[in-house]
Amino acid sequence: DAGITQSPRHKVTETGTPVTLRCHQTENHRYMYWYRQDPGHGLRLIHYSYGVKDTDKGEVSDGYSVSRSKTEDFLLTLESATSSQTSVYFCAISEKREGRDNEQFFGPGTRLTVL
Amino acid sequence: KNQVEQSPQSLIILEGKNCTLQCNYTVSPFSNLRWYKQDTGRGPVSLTIMTFSENTKSNGRYTATLDADTKQSSLHITASQLSDSASYICVVSGQGGSQGNLIFGKGTKLSVKP
């Protein structure tokens, strides 16, 4: 998984509780992303980062916030989890390289269940 | 609206047989198209990446083709193996803009039976 770890790998939580997912990379890639994957949908971008403390919203950012204080770590926070946020969350990284623009490498995923 | 459509949604084949998966897209302007393989419970792994000037790209038993005029791509798997059982995702990147401009298809779930 290209030097990408996600923690936790599985989590069950209750509606209304805060949840933080962590993505850690050892590749020193500039760009990091958070996606969610749900049945019947393609991967959907939540937020991404283009450098330390530089982040931007994706397609489905409502209810999520992110932080990146170090190159290697990208945190995804659900301030108050809802059942609609039950999903599998993937972190990805990429670096601009000649001929390989925007090739993203994915982590193993975190399965989150909100009861 | 930028979209990526894949067909079939699912496919069952016998080990050793060939198969072809389809991807149609409406993303414009277009930068590149890639195919990912996603094993159950794992993250997607890149198989091929093609720019608009490339017609075909191979990676072992996987061969991807691209027709930028008709906005169609296919992934051909030769002599399938049980380990090919996975979901295959077509992803299109729009030109310019930020790094967060990938459009993902919903995937084709392939099952290879002995």
Per-residue pLDDT of chain B (114 residues), as tens digits, is 788 999 999 999 999 999 999 999 998 878 889 999 999 999 999 999 898 888 999 999 999 999 989 999 999 999 999 999 999 999 998 765 455 578 899 999 999 999
Query: B98 near A56, Cβ under 8 Å?
Result: yes
For strands A110-114 and A10-13, give the pairing. parallel
Query: What are A22-75's pLDDT values in tens digits?
Result: 999 999 999 999 999 999 888 999 999 989 999 999 989 999 999 999 999 999
Q: What percent of chain A has pLDDT over 70?
A: 93
Nearest CA in chain B to A90: B43
Q: Distance between terminal CA atoms of chain A?
A: 29
CA distance B65 to A95: 25
CA distance A74 to A110: 14
Question: Which residue of A43, A60, A64 to mutate against B (max B Cβ within 10 Å)?
Answer: A43
Give the residue from A26, A109, A22 showing the smallest Cα distance to A74.
A22
Q: What is the pLDDT of residue B102?
A: 85
Residues of A in contact with B46 (CB under 8 A): 103-105
DSSP B106: -
Top-confidence residue, A1 or B68: B68
CA distance A88 to B46: 19
Provide the token pair at A92: 């990805």
Check if A75 contacts B (Cβ < 8 Å).
Answer: no
Query: A5 near A107, Cβ under 8 Å?
Result: yes
Residues of A in contact with B25 (CB under 8 A): none
Does position A7 have pLDDT exceeding 70, yes or no?
A: yes
Residues of B in contact with A94 (CB under 8 A): 99
**Tokens 């999520």, residue?**
A64
Give the residue from B73, B76, B61 showing the smallest Cα distance to B103.
B73
Nearest by CB: A103 against B46, B98, B107: B46
Check if A31 contacts B (Cβ < 8 Å).
Answer: yes
